[in-house]
Structure 1
């Protein structure tokens, strides 16, 4: 069982990680050719859009997986109902936002860039509408199809970015370009800086992704199969998850939004670039989740479900800590490779944000328990506590004169760490109870990894010793866990 699960996770990981690797390749390109204030604008637009997507998603992806695991519903009715709900919500957003664009750009401080907001309205629309078809592909274990769509998406985006940055100025002068395309070129010419090229490429990629999943809509979605009673149940289940998702988006993006407006674009550019490196951990979390989450819901009715959940969460933590040590232990090498020197001033946030993201991953895996007992409101309460902590740290950040961007970074790790502890102590009597041995093993692994990374960072010039310590760490973990962990994949 574990072998199949591992293979499935690897296949999904390729489809998820390859596009992300391409994005990190462009990170070096962007930080080299863009000013820090331009990069700040780039990250700010995505931060704002993530907040919107968190709302528009309505928790329907998790809702879809949960309702699939219930045997009293037809799968085609479930999919048709939930897709129609999503399409209605997203279409309403697009119509409302386009008609309110002047008001929105004034609030956000983008009066000089209305075209950016228009592109992001379309990006948000297409990306949100594609969430459920991609979930359908995962639920039907079509890993190759999932990977193919993601690869095509990133190739389209990459080709457009390379073209726009490298060849656009010469090709736009070709005299025989049709009038329609000429109008597009004229619109692109109105962009005030090259950040618009990135957004335009993303818009085209999102559109291509939508086109690729249209066959799923045509074959699997029918208005006749829409079930009003089921739709109400789905919304009741999904809204608490949506609130938790919004809280997560605030946790992830509030710091960057405030640093841009409270300190400067230059500082926010550096902070955002280093934050992206720290987000390596989120790649691991997402890759793990892609293969594991459908399995979690499928096993929810089994008598031994709790055993499997606890085993997999334990595996997740151990692998995550190894990943943490290897990335943070070599951060001076990685940061030189991925971002330009002028962005290095915020390097100190990386180990803190990475550990915070690992806590988030632990919480995400633990949260499966309240989802399978149909009480997502538990996650809402915990997420609101987490976001309250984030807001408090950010209030301190903007209230203290000459404050440091390290305050929001510490807010991230405190918020996610608190969420893990609250969920664990709340749920251990009901559905989660690690054996005492494993509980102490986790604590020891966390302390060991964090102390090792702290030592390596404080002695970053001792490269040979640091490499040896990382190698020794992996050997120790292997010897310590070979019977408890690695044997499961035999």
Structure 2
């Protein structure tokens, strides 16, 4: 079972890592070709859209996993019911948002970019519909198809972006049926429109690729009203948690743009994306392990495996943290243009915050398997309140610094993790008896990163090598078992 899990996780990793590495290539590409205010517009639009997607998802992905592994429900009925709910919600959103598009663009300060909002509404619509078909591939052990779909989408998006940045003017004069579709970009006021247009086409292609699953598996007659109510009751608390996560992730960038400047927000957002390397690690881990967690919950030794997997997740995450943050001055030169380096100091803080979030995500399995996702809602609200507090301080203090929102994200995720740990310890007493070891590993990793910023490269590499040797020596049994 565990060898199969490892193989599937590797395949999922390929489908996630290659597109993300391409995105990091485009991070350098965008920071070179876009002005800071254009890059700020690019990140701000995505920040606003993530808040909407968090609402529209209704927590149905986790809900689908939970109900899929319950023996008293038919798998096809669960899928049909979930997708029909999603279609109704997203269709209502699309109609409602397009009708109010002028008002929305004016409220957000983008009255000159109505076309951008139209594209984003379509992106959100397409992406939300694809959530459950992609989840279906995961629970039905089809990682290769999942990976191929991701690769095709990122390839389409990449080709379109490069074409429009470099080749569009050359082709636009030709009377070609294939290229006439790109005449729509003539109305864009800046190059960020190229990115949004490419994303819209990519999201549409994703919908076409999962369409066979939708057509084959969805049956309106299999829609179950009672099951739909149960799924919504389970998913809505998760939805609030997702919205809270979106606020924690994006509120700082939204406020920095409006209270400081586009230039600082552009730099802050670019460095934030480098810190999201940790999110990439979390996402890879989650793709393979999340369905497995739900599958194992009935086993007598489930808590033991949850603890071991979480422990290894923390250990590898801290190694990842040391290697990235210990060499950040080298990485940043390859990833973003020099003019964006002014906010480099947020990277270690946001990376550690993201690791806290990853551990929280692993521990959240405890309230999900006992059908109490409302616990996650309460914890997420605590996180949001902390984020809001730090951002209010950021707004109220004259000449405030962009470090305040970064520390807010760190504190928010850290407090959520601490509260969830004590709740898990209280309700699952056998869980996490190695907290002293974990705390030691955290302080050891932070110490290595701290001294790395004051040493020469050669000495820095020596300390990192010493750290890796020490960790392998201390945890050699676990690493050997992992490799086996």
TM-score, normalised relative to structure 2: 0.98
2:447 equivalent in structure 1? 451
Q: Distance in 2 between matches of 1:477 and 1:210?
A: 44
Partner of 1:232: 229
1:487 and 2:484 aligned: no
| Correspondence for 1:296 | 293
- Show the counterpart of 2:281: 284
Pairing of 1:169-184 with structure 2 (within 5 A): 169-174=169-174, 176-178=175-177, 182=180, 184=181
What's the CA shift for 1:155?
Answer: 0.1
Residue 433 of structure 1: CA displacement? 3.9
Is the contact between residue 172 and residue 179 of structure 2 (CA under 8 Å) also seen in structure 1?
A: no
In structure 1, how many angstroms separate the alpha carbons of the residues matched to 2:28 and 2:173? 29
Unmatched 5+ stretches in structure 1: none
* Residue in 2 that maps onto 1:215: 212
The 8 Å contact of residues 2 and 488 in structure 1, kept in 2 or not, is answered as no
Give the superposition deviation at 1:191: 0.3
Worse-matched range after superposition: 446-455 or 238-247 = 446-455
User: Which residue of the partner structure matches residue 472 of structure 2?
Assistant: 478
Match of 1:120 in 2: 120
Shift of 1:397: 0.3
After TM superposition, give the deviation of residue 432 of structure 1 in Å. Answer: 5.4
Does the CA-based 8 Å contact 2:307-2:432 persist in structure 1? no
Which residue of the partner structure matches residue 153 of structure 1? 153
Q: Which residue of 2 aligns with 1:440?
A: 436
Measured in 2, the distance between the counterparts of 1:425 and 1:485 equals 27
Q: CA deviation at 1:451?
A: 1.1
Whether the aligned pair in 1 keeps the contact of 2:322 and 2:449 (CA below 8 Å) is yes
3-state SS, counterpart of residue 297 of structure 2: helix
Query: Secondary structure at 1:458's aligned position in 2?
Result: coil
- Structure 1: how far apart are the matches of 2:239 and 2:12? 24
1:92 aligns with 2:92: yes
Gaps spanning 5+ residues in structure 2: where? none
For residues 249-288 of structure 1, give each alpha carbon's deviation from its aligned partner in whole angstroms, at most 9, with x where no partner exists: 0000000000000000000000000000000000000000
Secondary structure, counterpart of 1:448 in structure 2: helix
Aligned length: 484
Alpha-carbon distance between aligned partners in 1 of 2:207 and 2:429, rounded to the nearest angstrom: 39
CA distance in 1, matches of 2:166, 2:213: 36
Distance 2:265 2:482 in 1: 44
What's the counterpart of residue 404 of structure 2? Answer: 407
Measured on the aligned residues, the alpha-carbon RMSD in Å equals 1.1
Shift of 1:423: 0.4
Q: TM-score, length-normalised on structure 1?
A: 0.97
**CA displacement, residues 80-105 of structure 1 (integer Å, 9 cap, x when unaligned):** 00000001001110000000000000
Instruction: Give the 5 Å matches for 1:37-436.
Output: 37-174=37-174, 176-178=175-177, 182=180, 184-431=181-428, 433-434=430-431, 436=433
- For the Cα contact (< 8 Å) 1:424–1:432, is it kept in 2? no
User: Is 1:296–1:309's contact at 8 Å kept on the other side of the alignment?
Assistant: yes
1:303 Cα shift? 1.2
Aligned: 1:466 with 2:463: no
Q: Deviations over 1:312-344 (max 9, x none)?
A: 101100000000000101101100000000000
1:47 & 1:377 partners in 2: Cα distance? 25
Distance across 2 between alignment mates of 1:431 and 1:207: 44
Q: Which string of whole-angstrom CA distances, capped at 9 and with x for unpartnered residues, describes residues 207-239 of structure 1?
A: 000000000001111001000000000000000
**Are the aligned partners of 2:25 and 2:335 in contact in 1 as well (CA < 8 Å)?**
yes
